Amino acid sequence: MEYRRLGRSGLQVSSLVLGTMNFGNPTGLDDAGRMVDAAIDAGINLIDCADIYNKGEAERILGKALKRNGRRHHILLTSKCYNRIGPGPNDQGNTRHHIIEACERSLKQMQTDFIDIYFLHRTDFSVPQEESLAALDQLRRDGKIRYIACSTHPAWRTVEAMHLADRYGFPKIVCEQPPYNLLDRRSENEILPMCQAYDIGVLAWAPLAHGVLAGKYTQADNLPEGSRGTLRRVFRERITSEGVAVGRRFTERADAKGCTAAQLAVAWVLHQPGITSTIIGPRNLEQLESLLPGADVQLDAADLAFCDELVPPGRYVTSFFNTAAWMKSKGL
């Protein structure tokens, strides 16, 4: 496993990150525990979670798995806040109230004393960033988090946060977590260059494009039962005829290289400038083991040019920013 520097934090993190969105549904505790053990054994040292994943069940299962194997201090642990976690009017967003409440809840659910990297899951335009950063600073001073990060934020918003950190002495963002795969390359326009300029690490999510780049779908209007696209409306929106067509040609390229399409999709992300790591979200041990070799697949200039022909740099054929209302740019 290759380790890369996570921006200004100086942390060395594995090129593959174990994502836990499936923990709790459909992945139960025993399967999750086996995956956590196998991931650590393979050299993965960063596990990504969020309070919203399966209404907190992902955090609870991950906490139990780490408590069971006693390997919490072998890994770096993340979680996130922003999304609604209760019925009250203040049970969401990036207010000081919600950030602190959400962090305390995540610590309890994951049975840990601290979270290594704590993310603002989305930006909150209704709250001044000084308020959010002050809350994160308090959590860091209290020893409950060690680094702060953001996910799916517009570049200008992150830059503003960096300047506010300089002005008020708040901790600086060390990592951004954007959607990034061959079907949606818009992060290349502003987010990735900004991260390189400000020494911010990048953990890319959805490298397989919900299975489209793994060759899972033959058509966009007849999805396999139980596939990611059938689980939620926002996932279904990401399975398009244009994307499936790209996925078909991408799979043919993988076959010619002698690897799986999923491995090639992972490798493509890791070969892009500014990327620290990519998050894989297997449902079971078999899927995890099939994805691990993707970190070692090498792409040559011809492979990269082929992918650029499928979807040119900075463009998209399927939107993976459909949970970020601020993204307004058009596709091909």
| Tens digit of each residue's pLDDT (9 = 90 or more) over 253-276 | 999 999 999 999 999 999 999 999
Q: Give the pair of three-digit tokens for residue 296.
A: 């070692």
Neighbours of 28 (CB within 10 A): 13
Per-residue pLDDT at 287: 98
Q: Give the pair of three-digit tokens for residue 217.
A: 């779908």
* Catalytic site residue from 53, 118, 147, 180: 53
Per-residue pLDDT at 93: 98
User: Model-level pTM?
Assistant: 0.96
Give CATH for domain 3-177.
Answer: 3.20.20.100
Q: Give the pair of three-digit tokens for residue 127.
A: 């709250």
Per-residue pLDDT at 240: 95
**Known catalytic membership, residue 316:** no
Per-residue pLDDT at 331: 52
194-203 confidence digits (pLDDT tens)? 999 999 999 9
Question: Which residues of the chain, if any, have pLDDT below 50?
Answer: 332
Contact indicator for 149, 174 with CB cutoff of 8 Å = yes
Instruction: Compute CA 52 distance to the chain's CA centroid, rounded to the nearest angstrom.
Output: 13
79-91 confidence digits (pLDDT tens)? 999 999 999 999 9
Residue 118 burial (C-beta neighbours within 10 Å; 0-12, 13-18, 19+) = buried
Please report, to the nearest 10 degrees, the dihedral formed by the alpha carbons of residues 107, 101, 19, 123 taken in order. -150
Residue 177 burial (C-beta neighbours within 10 Å; 0-12, 13-18, 19+) = buried
